[in-house]
Amino acid sequence: TLGVPWVAFGCRVLATFPGYLPLAWRRSAEALITRYAEQAADELRERSLLNIGPLPNLKERLYAAGFDDGEIEKVRRVLYAFNYGNPKYLLLITALSESMQMRPVGGAEVSSELRASIPKGHPKGMDPLLPLVDATKASTEVQGLLKRVADLHYHHGPASDYRVLA
């Protein structure tokens, strides 16, 4: 596995094409569970840090919104999981997309150290499963937000990221 506690929305959509996702995963898994892919995901995380100046203290804003320490810790843990997993899913989806465009994927010379597999499971400190809010059972306010997210993205429903944060 990619070592993440959820299945990305993109993978769930690809699973609607019978047989495609299992085949694609079998063809991709060996490369994606390596130290090389882990390093590439780390580089994506680093490159995603925008130099936009100081950010507001979100913890203070959450306290002001009525969050307690336990709720803030849950948000922190979810963001940690997303920060770890989303670059890995980006690598997977990019490789699948490039392959469908008949462009070469991979083929770089990689040291045996970087070809080594990463440990199975998710990293220490990451929750094993992220709970997804059932949009049909959420509060009216959350249902409205999730519908807006789905509408803005032209999807039938909100992606996992939004359902976890709800």
Residue, of 49 and 67, whose pLDDT is higher: 67
38: confidence class by pLDDT, cuts 50, 70, 90 = very high
Tell me what pLDDT residue 68 has.
97
Q: Which of 54-58, 69-73, 74-78, 158-162 shows the lowest per-residue confidence on average (mean pLDDT)?
A: 158-162
- pLDDT for 135: 82
How far CA 29 is from CA of 26, 61, 108, 140, in Å, comes to 6, 40, 16, 40
Q: At how many degrees (to 10) do helices 20-32 and 69-100 cross? A: 100
* Residue 13 scores a pLDDT above 90: no
Question: Does residue 44 have a pLDDT over 90?
Answer: yes
Looking at residue 121, what is its pLDDT? Answer: 83
pLDDT at 6: 82
pLDDT tens, position by position, 83-137 = 999 999 999 999 999 888 888 777 778 888 998 888 888 888 888 777 788 888 8
Quickly state the pLDDT bin for 28 (edges 50, 70, 90). confident
What is the pTM (predicted TM-score) of this model? 0.80
User: Looking at residue 90, what is its pLDDT?
Assistant: 93
Whether residue 91 contacts residue 41, with contact meaning beta carbons closer than 8 Å, is answered with yes
Give the length of the chain: 166
